[in-house]
Amino acid sequence: MDEILAYLKANPTYFLATVDAEGNPQVRPFGTAALFEGKIYIQTGRKKAVSAEMLAHPRIAICDMGKGGTWLRIEADAVEDDRVEAQQAVLDDYPGLQKMYAAGDGNTQVFYLKNAKATISSFTAEPKTFEF
């Protein structure tokens, strides 16, 4: 998990794929990945469509293009953690978000990745797969 978190931190804009209410795929850029209590967390706003999508269909995918011709793909369940402590931990990692979000504000929402399978691939090396 440490290698996956380090990859996301080194390549901070990744693409998050969800499924909307009609079953259509939705992909959008995201940029949070924080470690809290041994789990990787992502953050969004409760008012956004992505929030409703992850709550209704928690299986998500993440794709991140790295430097040097590598890429990361993650399949995971997004599990909401509504504790203020979890929200604050993510916001502490991303101080720039504190202009828009505050722990316990009713809009800040964090999810941790569960049942995750992550693969780092390239055209020049064997894929490395991790499960957490």
Identify the pLDDT of residue 68.
Answer: 87
Reported as type and span, the H/E element at residue 60 is: strand 59-65
CA distance 122 to 132: 21
Per-residue pLDDT of the chain (132 residues; tens, 9 = 90+): 999 999 999 999 999 999 999 999 999 999 999 999 999 999 999 999 999 999 999 999 999 999 889 999 999 999 999 999 999 999 999 999 999 999 999 999 999 999 999 999 999 999 999 999
Pairing of strands 59-65, 14-19: antiparallel
CB-based burial of residue 38 (10 Å sphere; 0-12 exposed, 13-18 middle, 19+ buried)? exposed
Question: CA distances (Å), 9 to each of 35, 36, 59, 93, 124, in order?
Answer: 11, 14, 22, 11, 23
User: What's the whole-model pTM score?
Assistant: 0.96
